[in-house]
Amino acid sequence: MANPFAQRPVHALLAPAVFLGLVLPTAAAASRSSTSAAASQTIKFALAFHDVEVDVGKPGPSLGDERIVSDSLLDTKGRKIGHDGGVCTFTSLTPPEAACQITFFLARGQIAIEFLNSPPPRKVAAIVGGTGTYRGARGEAVIVEGPRQTGTVTFQLTS
């Protein structure tokens, strides 16, 4: 049987963080409707991926294997300004899929996401909560994997 994890580089099966390069803040916009005053904000970061695979079953790919995520968020000068931490547990080998829970640690609080990860380089995750400035946050996070263990994450926050 072919190794489903060998079909893509290590970073292609995990996003989070996540992450190298530039922090690219985007416009934060407030949107108001006639019935509610819901604020929305979009923020984008570059990522340097630092993940490892944990083989928990018999040697080789198997259900329950995990990928531990510990990625860096960097500013435009390459300085680390945040990080993430999480785990993705493989739930399918064909196609390779993993259920992921990742928390991003930023200066003003944390943002937690969940998603079902698969090989395409673009992943969409649910924002399931936050702390600090991001307390009560909801919305989506889009993770895009780039070359050489890099990528971006864009948070589309609603509260």
pLDDT tens column, 106-137: 999 999 999 999 998 999 999 999 999 999 99
Q: What pLDDT was estimated at residue 74? A: 80
Is residue 58 exposed (0-12), middle (13-18) or buried (19+ Cβ within 10 Å)?
A: exposed
> Three-state SS for 92?
strand
pLDDT of residue 58: 84
pLDDT at 39: 72
Tokens representing residue 131 in the block? 């702390």
Q: At 132, list the tokens.
A: 């600090």
pTM: 0.76
Per-residue model confidence (pLDDT) at position 143: 96
- Please tell me the predicted confidence (pLDDT) of residue 26: 33
